[in-house]
Structure 1
Amino acid sequence: MKLVSAAEMKACDLYTIETLGVPALLLMEHAALAVVEEMLRLENLAKCKILVACGSGNNGGDGFAIARLLKVKGYQVELLFVGNPEHLTAETKLQKTICENYQIPLYTQLPKNPDYAVLVDAILGIGLKKIVYPHIGQVIEALNQLKLFVFAVDLPSGLSGDSGEILGQAIRADKTITFQFKKFGLTKQPAKQFAGEILVKDIGVSDQPLISH
């Protein structure tokens, strides 16, 4: 199994999108489908109220796509947006708009007395290099305290994809669905402890940049 750094993963993504011409939205859709496929294995998911927490980067875009797929399948799903609306990537902005069109409830603060059973963590991606912003750290801490069954998208938010260290606060996941290649950080502590069961899913990203070097 290939192990990659955050920079190597970014290079593979860019090669797939810019050189091979695979739309970023298509990769996002593949990532969302991979997470939903794994979520459907959870017993009694149909009885669970699901919260999908999204940031403004493409990890958040994966989250919005996951929420829409769950909504279409008839699951109870709500969104928590903790990113900066001015920093939304083009793909994430579109996915967010689609969720709004589907009238999926969207909050910018965690509701009081939440009754969720499952959390999808799509707040931060693998490119995190510095301590999480205080307000995001507070959200992460509050989500951890809810003790939900947590699916992390690519990497639990707040962890370094390279060193595996906690950058301020980090989500504790039960399952981490990482895309295409396992990230170096997921092989190290404390990330291994925070990631829970780690599953690597093929979403169609080329490994050519890894071979070229």
Structure 2
Amino acid sequence: MNNILDRQQMHECDMYTINDIGIPSMVLMERAALGVFDEIRARKIDSSNTLIVCGSGNNGGDGLALARMLADEGDKVNVYITGNTSLASGEMGKQYEIIRNYNVKILDTFPESDNYTLIVDAIFGIGLSRNIEGEIFNLIRKLNDKRGFKLSIDVPSGVNSDNGKIMGTTFKAELTVTIGDYKRGCFIYPGAEFCGEIVCKKIGISNKPIEKSKTGHILTIDDLNKIPKRKVRSNKGTYGNVLIIAGSLNMCGAAILAGAAAYASGCGLVRIFTPKDNRIIIQNKLPEAVLTTYDPQYFDDRVLEKEIERADSIVIGPGLGMDVSAGKITEYVLRYATVPIIADADALNIAATNPSLLKKHNCPLIITPHFAEMARLCDTKIYNISNDILETAIKFSKENNLICLLKDANSVIAGSDGSLYVNTSGNNGLSTAGSGDVLAGILGALAVIFDDYSLCAAMGAFIHGLAGDYAVAETGERGLVSSDIVEYVKKVLKDVK
């Protein structure tokens, strides 16, 4: 599990390392530049003719130190500095004085040449706090139009390191070498689109100031070992009874996919509560599930009450529909269930028509909206959600005392306790009908065995995305269907004991 920090958290770590531990800022700058240099060499990036564009802050100082190191190795290096060097930060000013003694050409005007093999963005880093305008706006646009491999130091200039918003315009990197810790905004869209591959270079910055703070996290493959171990002496009851309330007329596939995914994720028993018209097809497609059916025209909550009493977790919403009985079922579950609930799809659409519903729960609640569902819940436009996914998820989770898994290319998972995860697994092959039903089923199984429900949600998103990654390696992105994802969930979890 890796930290993803915001600007303030990174600043606190920097200052503690410099002022309390006593590592000079120039030493950290040299280490940062050396980390970037080593990455260029390790990847065999052609740096024989390099342009480095530097700002007047510490990010620019990193760029100047890198220019010196490349020149020492015989590369041709040109540097263009934006702004007035007399206004440069202390370390940037020192690096400027040093580099004048090296075989590095400092350009007076922005170069028109398009023959550079490597273009390095060292303009702003995490220090950007306002929209880019004027000369630098045009400069970044010109840099993006040039040929040559494009690399950003720390954060692409123009990406807000806190929330991933684009500050007017942004450098489009193929590789971002971030320093110290990963930066939150690099993993959140739209900014994530401009970062390319992201690698982190540790340079000795201490995390002690934020040890007790709520930092964001991204999961890695090693974190699959956080899934609780299975016991030698066990039975189906050990791994939980997942109640799936899903399906409606012509939408029984959602219940089947959610149930199959729950089984693939290790639950002991799936019970499906669904309209009576779905019985035959579900029994044929998922014979391992225990079915209880109801007549939507004559719904009796006493039948549902018995099912809830048996459950260790509940998935509600996939393909449920929006009729009167679906509304009654959703309200009953949110009001009376005492086990973890995963609310998806139509359960969220029903909640959007009655905003007080989500505040009635008395148990852990994970919601899994896509942008349109979140827009309905927040009574706003989809654009407002997609343009501010992080703050939307954080605010909604706190206001409603729940965990919000807001789905995106990199989904954001925010808990009411301040916990935060960004999921980095997955691909566009997962943009297919039923994919969300599979995710809901995975979460239903995990909610039985996890005590930390924010981590549970993050782990479910990670497994779901990883299954998609495994699948497209064999099938390609265009041909992936949701029943394939279920099979690859099994492969993801195969080596987790």
TM range (shorter): over 0.9
Q: Which residues in structure 2 correspond to 1:1-213 (within 5 Å)? A: 1-43=2-44, 45=46, 48-213=48-213
- Count of aligned pairs between the two proteins: 212
The answer to whether the Cα contact below 8 Å between 1:3 and 1:181 also exists between their aligned partners in 2 is yes
- In 2, Cα distance between equivalents of 1:135 and 1:172: 17
Between the aligned partners of 1:186 and 1:88, the Cα distance in structure 2 is: 26
User: What secondary structure, in the 3-state scheme, does the structure 1 residue paired with 2:31 have?
Assistant: helix
State whether residues 52 and 80 of structure 1, in contact with CA within 8 Å, keep that contact through their aligned partners in structure 2. yes
For the pair shown, the structure with the greater C-alpha radius of gyration is 2
Give the AA of the match of 1:58.
Answer: N
- The alignment partner of 1:121 has SS state of strand
The separation in 1 between residues aligned to 2:113 and 2:177, in whole angstroms, is 28
Separation in structure 1 between the aligned mates of residue 53 and residue 119 of structure 2, nearest angstrom = 7
SS, match of residue 211 in structure 2? helix
Q: Distance in 2 between matches of 1:44 and 1:164?
A: 27
TM-score, normalised with respect to structure 1: 0.95
Q: Deviations over 1:122-181 (max 9, x none)?
A: 011112121014111111011001032111000001110011111011000010000121
Structure 1 Cα separation of the partners of residues 210 and 69 of structure 2: 32
Q: Unaligned stretches of 5+ in structure 1?
A: none
**What's the CA shift for 1:2?**
0.8
User: Aligned letter for 1:30?
Assistant: R
- Identity score, percent: 37
What is the Cα-based RMSD across aligned positions, in Å? 1.3
Aligned to 2:342: none
Residue-by-residue CA offset, 1:19-63 (whole Å, 9 max, x unaligned): 1110000000000000000111343626x3101110000000000
Q: Is the 8 A contact 1:82 1:108 kept in 2?
A: no
Between Structure 1 and Structure 2, the one with more helix by share is 2
> Are the equivalent residues in 1 in contact too, given 2:76–2:104 (CA < 8 A)?
no
Question: Normalising to structure 2: TM-score of the pair?
Answer: 0.42
Residue 101 of structure 1 aligns to a residue in which SS? coil
1:83 CA displacement:
2.9
Q: Which amino acid aligns with 2:142?
A: A
Distance 2:162 2:211 in 1: 20
**How far apart in 1 are the matches of 2:113 and 2:5?**
40
Amino acid of the residue matched to residue 211 of structure 2? Answer: I
Q: For residues 133 and 124 of structure 1, what CA distance do their matches in structure 2 show?
A: 13
SS of structure 2 residue aligned to 1:143: helix
Letter in 2 for 1:24: S
Asked if 2 retains the 8 angstrom alpha-carbon contact of 1:83 and 1:123, the reply is: no
1:23 counterpart letter in structure 2: P
Deviation at 1:185, TM superposition (A): 0.2
Query: Does structure 1 retain, via aligned residues, the 8 Å contact 2:121–2:171?
Result: yes
**What code does the residue aligned with 2:11 have?**
K
| Distance in 2 of aligned mates of 1:40 and 1:136 | 29
In structure 1, distance between residues paired with 2:16 and 2:99: 28
Which whole-Å CA distance do the structure 1 matches of 2:196 and 2:115 have between them? 23
